[in-house]
Structure 1
Amino acid sequence: MTATTQEKIVAAARQLFETEGAGAVSMRRVADAVGITPMAIYRHFTNREELLKHISDIAFEEVAQEWAARAQHPDLMHGLLHSMENYLDYALQHPHLFDYSFSVARDDARRFPEDFRARKSPTLNVVADMLEEGVRRGLLRECDPWDLAMVLWGQAHGLIALYRAGRFSYDEAQFRAFYLQSLGVLFDGIKR
């Protein structure tokens, strides 16, 4: 099946985004990559910010689907650990998308608690659902699953941000082991 013009625009913009970061995504560069005029892009996207948001939303959905698939583990705690490991994988494999999605101040960014409790986060929904299930099954201490999901996210994000800023002398394998161990410590604190 032949890709539509909009799909070609998104693919070209995402390629620029992935390799060079959000700053590299200009309407001119995207148009050149697709073989259209920059003005033709505006038939599909109101402005550059809408295009970037569209790319980010697609990436969120892809990650959420992957997290949900990997979280399907007979042992709920292993599933939860896998979902948090997916966050690390995403940060390391897609650093520019990761930064734009999770580390850059944006007007359209989801806000805690209202947006998250309204289930507007395809990725954190997966984690909160597992935590709620863990509480329901008596595996985890009684807690608010959204508050705990945010604590887990904060722990994971903080370590990843420090690693990416060069604050660890570990190579990637050593950091991954440390990251997973730290999450294990946190999980031990919430288990019943």
Structure 2
Amino acid sequence: MSKDRIFDAARAILDHEGIEGLSVRKVAARAGVSTMAMYRHFADKDALLNALMDDGLAAWEKVVRAIRAEDPMEWLEAVIEAFLKFALTQPHRFDAAFFLPAPEARRYPDDFVAGRSPVIAMIMVRIDQAKADGRLGGTPAVDVALALAGMAQGLVSMQRAKRFSSDKQFRTLFRAQLRHCLQSFS
């Protein structure tokens, strides 16, 4: 029970204060346990960060698994839209999934090629389907997936740093640039 309470406290702090607000002492205090008791459930702060990252990635995977488009290109465009929505509506969970300095974060390219990222694996399947249909060129699926992911995360980073004049401008540019990136591989 305490492990769940500690994790819930960590997620609540992350949701309200972001990555910057996360500390072992703050989590322990919110969970109503001592710092030492917390270490019985999470070996160290890195273990807690890994758990939060896994939670964020699980939330993102759930979003992607709900996409029902049959056409691979339509599915990929739906993923682009879902990524934008996830970044804007669940910013702290998004940060946990993609920006948290968790030691067990997946590494490119080995973890992606090995299928350790369920979402990247789903994306690569759709890219390969589109390639088989003659709608995308011969670039390896992992490279296309990385280009899309890198551009999407980069644009979200720019938005968080207030590099766009408005939220509307960001949304418009995000959609246009990701579609352009995807189409550049055809």
Show the counterpart of 2:83: 87
- Letter matched to residue 46 of structure 2: E
Equivalents in 2 of 1:67, 1:9: separation in Å? Answer: 28
Show the counterpart of 1:185: 180
**TM score, norm. by length of structure 2:** 0.87
Identity of aligned residues (%): 33
Deviates more, 1:87-96 or 1:72-81: 87-96
Show the counterpart of 1:5: 2
Corresponding residue to 1:127 among 123, 128, 137: 123
State the Cα distance separating 1:100 from its structure 2 match.
4.6
Equivalents in 1 of 2:21, 2:62: separation in Å? Answer: 27
Corresponding residue to 1:167 among 150, 157, 163: 163
State the Cα distance separating 1:83 from its structure 2 match.
0.9
Corresponding residue to 1:68 among 65, 69, 75: 65
State the Cα distance separating 1:105 from its structure 2 match.
5.2
Deviates more, 1:178-187 or 1:100-109: 100-109
Q: How many residues align?
A: 186
1:33 aligns with 2:30: yes
**Which consecutive unaligned segments of at least 5 residues does structure 2 have?**
none
Show the counterpart of 1:43: 40
Show the counterpart of 1:140: 136
1:115 aligns with 2:111: yes
**TM score, norm. by length of structure 1:** 0.85
Equivalents in 2 of 1:39, 1:27: separation in Å? Answer: 10
What's the C-alpha RMSD, in Å, of the aligned pairs? 2.0
State the Cα distance separating 1:12 from its structure 2 match.
0.9
- Letter matched to residue 182 of structure 1: Q
Q: What SS does the aligned partner of 2:41 have? A: coil
Q: Does the 8 Å contact 1:61/1:122 carry over to 2?
A: no
**Which consecutive unaligned segments of at least 5 residues does structure 1 have?**
none
